[in-house]
Structure 1
Amino acid sequence: MAKVTVCDHPLVQHKLTLLRDKTCSTADFRLLLREVSLLLAYEVTRDLPVELVEIETPIQRMSAPRLSGKKLVFASILRAGNGLIDGMLDLVPSARVAHVGIYRDHETLAAKRYFFKAPAGLSERLVIVVDPMLATGNSATDAVSTLKAEGARDIRFLCLLAAPEGIARFAAAHPDVPVFTAAIDTRLNENGYIEPGLGDAGDRLYGTK
């Protein structure tokens, strides 16, 4: 059973509408994606553990909450995942960053991994895997499998859009990993793109074809 959280905050939905519009320029797309990722990061980090520490305000001493444990890891599925990372780092600048290089074979839609680099101590850190689209689910599934093989145990997946087919594929492989998204769209088309979707997020982010 998929554990999916849809962030229906009005600002997220408004910015998502602007991102979907095919007239949105590359510069605006990049900026909007950064803004949306910051808002989504609030949702995916809502239950981070905290500890009380003693501090002194300008008025008096007090016990105040502070994040506990090791620094978070944001794991970007290259290349489009990098469009989400910047906004998340605006919110959590101390987070570590991992990169998982995966491309999709356009004939088979299979995920092909070509690069991996991650901080040490994955088993002791919350790892948030990011990619704008959860379409077929193949790239997300492979990325999480790679991180688990490297020791990651506490993992969440964050995306901008998800298709029912991608959610089902991902949940079947990783039922322990919750998914956070701004919207669940209708379906995949014959080319493996989400409908209505917003096109190829990487191409729109970087102005490529």
Structure 2
Amino acid sequence: MPQHLTIVTHPLVSHKLTIMRKKETSTAGFRKLLREISLLLAYEVTRELPLTTETIETPIETMEAPVIEGRKLALVSILRAGNGLLDGILELIPAARVGFIGLYRDPETLQPVEYYKKLPEHMEDRYTIVVDPMLATGNSSVAAIDMLKAAGAKNIRFLCLLASPEGVARMKAAHPDVPVVTAALDRGLDDHGYIVPGLGDAGDRMFGTR
């Protein structure tokens, strides 16, 4: 079983994340960097994809070559900011099935409220990667994985850009079988449940909203 938290420390990931943190980085720049960094993170989160072999013909000879085993991946985006990571990963794995879970955080209680869910079939057979740029309180992430497990998903990974110690602890307590892959573990949360030092609201910065 992989460790519960993996921090991707590749220099390109760290460099791009620093630019994304800067408040002067434009919406277009932020969106472009998020797509680029998602490709780099995707390599880590798919590291343990199960492989089998098939017989192929190269221009030289016949060989047994590795291919991904079983049904295709399922990528599940927690709306709306998850789509920024989703787009980049789909460039790398275009055959993956895609699902969406719509959650927003109640500003008073900080608890997630569901407003949309659409998932691929046969979730029980798929290697599922849940994407959301921020693992802050962990409440929305835990709720999304609760929904996925209720739909039959068993082999789940969670991919985020930034995580807080509080969010990681919440995920580990609720779903110790779901590894978390992130580009950085920040200091903590402020009184409004935002990651500090963080990079602000990922959805607002990606879409240019306030």
> Shorter-normalised TM-score: what interval?
over 0.9
Letter in 2 for 1:110: Q
Secondary structure in structure 1 of the residue aligned to 2:103: strand
Matched to 2:86, the amino acid is I
* SS at structure 1 position matched to 2:23: coil
Paired residue secondary structure (1:101): strand
When the two structures are aligned, how many residues end up with a matched partner?
208
Distance 1:36 1:74 in 2: 16
Question: 1:36 is matched with which residue?
Answer: 37
Q: What are structure 2's unaligned runs of at least 5 residues?
A: none
Q: Which amino acid aligns with 1:129?
A: V
**Counterpart amino acid of residue 207 in structure 1:** G
- Is 1:71 the counterpart of 2:69? The answer is no
- The alignment's TM-score, normalised by the length of structure 2, stands at 0.97
- 1:65-124 CA-partner distances (Å, limit 9, x unpaired): 111110000000000000000110011000000100000011111110111000100001
Q: Using the alignment, how far apart are the partners of 2:137 and 2:61 within structure 1?
A: 55
The equivalent residue for 1:207 is 208
Residue in structure 1 matched with residue 179 of structure 2 by the alignment: 178
- How many Å apart are 1:200 and its aligned residue? 0.1
Q: Which residue of 1 aligns with 2:107?
A: 106
Please list, as runs of the form range in 1=range in 2, the aligned pairs for 1:150-165 lying within 5 A after superposition: 150-165=151-166
Aligned to 1:23: 24
* Counterpart AA for 1:107: E
Kept in 1: contact 2:78–2:144 (CA 8 A): yes
User: 1:195: Cα distance to partner?
Assistant: 0.4
User: Gaps spanning 5+ residues in structure 1: where?
Assistant: none
The DSSP-based 3-state class of the residue aligned with 2:113 is strand
- Check if 1:55 corresponds to 2:56: yes
Over 4 Å off, 4+ runs = none
2:171 counterpart SS class: helix
- The normalised TM-score by structure 1 is 0.98
Q: Aligned partners of 1:48 and 1:129: how far apart in 2?
A: 15
Provide the rounded CA distance (Å) in 1 between the counterparts of 2:149 and 2:21.
33
TM-aligned CA deviation for residue 129 of structure 1: 0.5
Q: Alignment partner of 1:127: what SS?
A: strand
Q: Which residue of 2 aligns with 1:125?
A: 126
Partner amino acid, structure 1, of 2:119: A
Distance 2:64 2:177 in 1: 34
Q: Which residue of 2 aligns with 1:81?
A: 82
In 2, distance between residues paired with 1:86 and 1:10? Answer: 22
Identity over aligned pairs, percent: 62
1:145 pairs with 2:146: yes
Hey, what's the Cα distance between the residues in 2 that align with 1:153 and 1:65?
23
